[in-house]
Amino acid sequence: MSDLVRYSVTSNIAEIMLDRPPVNALSMDLIDALLAALSKAREDEAVRAVVIGSAHKVFCAGLDLDIVRGKPGIETKKFLERLYFALNDTQYRMGKPTIAAVDGAVRAGGMTIAISCDMIIAGGACTFGYPEIDVGLIPAIHFVQLPRLVGKHQAFGPLFLGEPFDAATAFRMGLLSEIVPKGTALERAREIARKLAAKSPIVMKIGRDAFMRAVDADFRRSVENAAESFALVATTEDCQEGLNAFVEKRTPNYRGR
């Protein structure tokens, strides 16, 4: 197992902790490590539920900008195929419940990971957000995910303003399963996982498979469209200007091309 995730199994519960300090910025290697850990949990008959969390104070700050900055769109699309398609396909076929335990900041690609799970348990001090628009990118998959979860009018503001929002707002929107006191999300996720693990594994698998089919209609086609749009944006001059301005800590000078 990669040193970018910590994987353990206790009492039929697999725990996958993201471990790319300081903020678990998403690289190709980290995504591949997460996918490998999820596949390992899926194939282990002793595992009946999965918890995904962080080994650090931040759950995930989103994309490592080096993946996009100064790179051709084809490289960006390769990464998106792992983050969007492979993660969705792996979660779709898990056959056992997955729970995201989040404390601290959850941004961009971190939202993708959390939302891919069946439940999200959040510490009360969590903040969430889609900052892509402020660095010349778009939160592509979330054009598909967020409106499905919270509706068009609740989704548009967070996606296009890029402003962070707190756990209470996320819960009110319908993004979260539960809010718990700061620092207790992992323990609450474990508690729920133990209850789920006590159910019949075959009934859980059949039921979850049916649930995933019911909520997944046309999802992949929509994600493919979103990935194409993200890759196209990554080729624009404004995207590179936004990324460079963020790294250089200055205001971007967008020119509309």
What would the pLDDT profile of 106-126 be if each residue is shown by its tens digit?
999 999 999 999 999 999 999
Indicate whether 98 pLDDT > 80: yes
| Percentages (nearest 5) of helix, strand, coil residues in the chain | 55, 15, 30
User: Residue type at 149?
Assistant: L
* 209, part of any domain: no
Average pLDDT, the chain: 90
Residue 3 phi, psi (nearest 5): -80, 5
- 222 token code pair: 């929509």
Which tokens hold the place of 251? 């205001």
pLDDT of res. 224: 65
Across the range 170-186, mean pLDDT stands at 97
Q: In what order do the strands lie in the sheet with 165-166?
A: 105-107, 127-129, 165-166
In a domain, 135, yes or no: yes
Higher per-residue pLDDT: 184 or 253: 184
Helix pair 28-43, 73-80: axis angle to 10 deg: 20
Give the pLDDT score at 208. 92
Distances (CA, A) of 65 to 60, 62, 163, 165: 13, 9, 19, 22
Please check whether residue 17 lies inside any domain of the structure. yes
pLDDT at 177: 98
Residue with tokens 């999820």: 38
Residue 245: inside a domain: no
Cross-strand bridge partners of residue 102: 122
As a whole number of angstroms, the distance between CA 5 and CA 24 comes to 10
pTM of the model: 0.85
Q: 64: helix, coil or strand?
A: coil
Q: Count how many domains the chain has.
A: 1
Residue 256 is assigned to a structural domain of this protein: no
- 230, two tokens: 């993200």
Residue with tokens 């998106």: 80
Range(s) of the domain holding residue 45: 5-201
Convert 141-158 to b/e letters by CB count within 10 Å (16 or more is b): bbbbbbbbebeeebbeeb
Are 116 and 82 in contact by the 8 Å Cβ rule? The answer is no
* Tens digits of residue pLDDT in 231-247: 777 778 887 788 788 78
- Classify residue 125 by its DSSP letter: T
Residue 67 in any domain: the answer is yes
Does 223 fall in a domain?
no
Task: Report d(CA 76, CA 233) in Å as an integer.
Answer: 10
What is the pLDDT, as a whole number, of residue 242?
80
CATH code of 11's domain: 3.90.226.10
pLDDT of the residue at 83: 83
**Residue 230: pLDDT above 80?**
no
Give every CB contact of residue 131 below 8 A, 6+ residues apart in sequence.
Answer: 62, 107, 108, 162, 164
130 pLDDT more than 70: yes
- pLDDT at site 145: 86
Residue 104 belongs to a domain:
yes
* Confidence check: pLDDT of 141 > 90: no
> Residue 248: which residues within 8 A CB-CB, separation 6 or more?
none
